[in-house]
Amino acid sequence: MTAQNKIRIGLTYTGTAEKHNNYVNWLVGNDAVEITRLSAADNNLEKVKEMDAVVLSGGVDTHPKNYGSDITDYPNAPTAFQEDRDAFETAVFQLSRQQQLPVLAICRGMQLVNCILGGNLIQDIGPEGNDLHRSESTDEEHDVVILPGTMLRQITRKEKDRANSAHHQCVGKLGEGLKVNAQSEDGIIEGYEWADKKSKPFLLGVQWHPERMYQLNIQSSALSRNIREYFMNAICSNMQHQ
C-alpha cells in the first residue's frame, strides 16, 4: 500500500493520550494507515464520511439509559458518566453503517454497539467476575473460548486463546442481528459479530484490549495480531468494492 492510498481509520477518543496512542500504534503498525481522532469535543462527526473504517474504543461505562435502565449507583459505577460521548459515538456507529464502513468495537465500544442494536448490559459482573476480569492497576489475563462456525474462529484459527481483561460490565441480552463468537470460561460474552454477514461490512466486537496486549507480553496473540490483520484486509476489500 502506498502513501497515495492510505487506509483512513476514524478512532474514537478514550479521553487520555496514553490510551489513545496504544490504539494508534497498534492500528498503524508498519502499514500506510492514517488515524483521525473522532470525539464529541472535536465535534467532527462528518469526518466519518471521509474514513475507510471506524474503531470504537474503550473507556468509561455508557450511561444506563442507553440500555433502558435508570439505575446509576450500581457497584463499580463511574463517578461521572459521559453522555456527550455516548451520543457522539452512537452517531458515529449509525453513520458508519450508512456509509457501509467496517467497524471494530473494543470493550466499551462493544458494549455501546450492543446497546445501540437493542441489547443490554449486565451492570456489574459481581465479586467473582471482577476478580477474574478486572484489576485496579494492570490488566487481568484469562482464557477466551472461540466458538466454532464464527468469523472470529476463522480469524484466529484457534479454539481458545489468552486475552487481557479490564472490565466490570458485560453484554447481557444480545443486540439485534448479532451472534456470540467468544466467551470466557465463566460464561461471560467476550465477542460478537453479525449473525448474517450477507451485504454487511465487517463488524467485530471484542471485550478485551488487542491494542495493549504488549503490556502482558501477549501482543503476538491471535486475539491481537490476527484481528488487526483481518481488519485491515476487510478494509482493503471494502475499499475495492465501493
DSSP state at residue 36: E
Contact 38, 48 (CB under 8 A): yes
Q: Which residue has the cell 489475563?
A: 141
Q: Which residue has the cell 450511561?
A: 63
- Whether 167 is a known active-site residue: answer no
Compute the distance between CA of residue 57 and CA of residue 23 in angstroms, rounded to an integer. 8
Dihedral angle of Cα 158, 160, 161, 162, to the nearest 10 degrees = 180
Q: Specify whether 209 is catalytic.
A: yes
Instruction: Give CA–CA dist 119/138, Å, rounded.
Output: 29
Q: From the candidates 89, 190, 193, 211, which is the catalytic residue? A: 211
Residue 50 annotated in active site: no
∠ CA 12-16-18 to the nearest 5 degrees? 105
CA distances from 216 to 28, 67, 165 (A): 20, 32, 11
Considering 89, 107, 168, 170, which one is annotated as catalytic?
107
Q: What is the DSSP string of 118-180?
A: T--EES--HHHHHHHH--SSS-EEEEEEEPTTSHHHHHH--SEEEEEE--S-EE-SPPTTEEE
**Which residues form the catalytic set?**
107, 209, 211
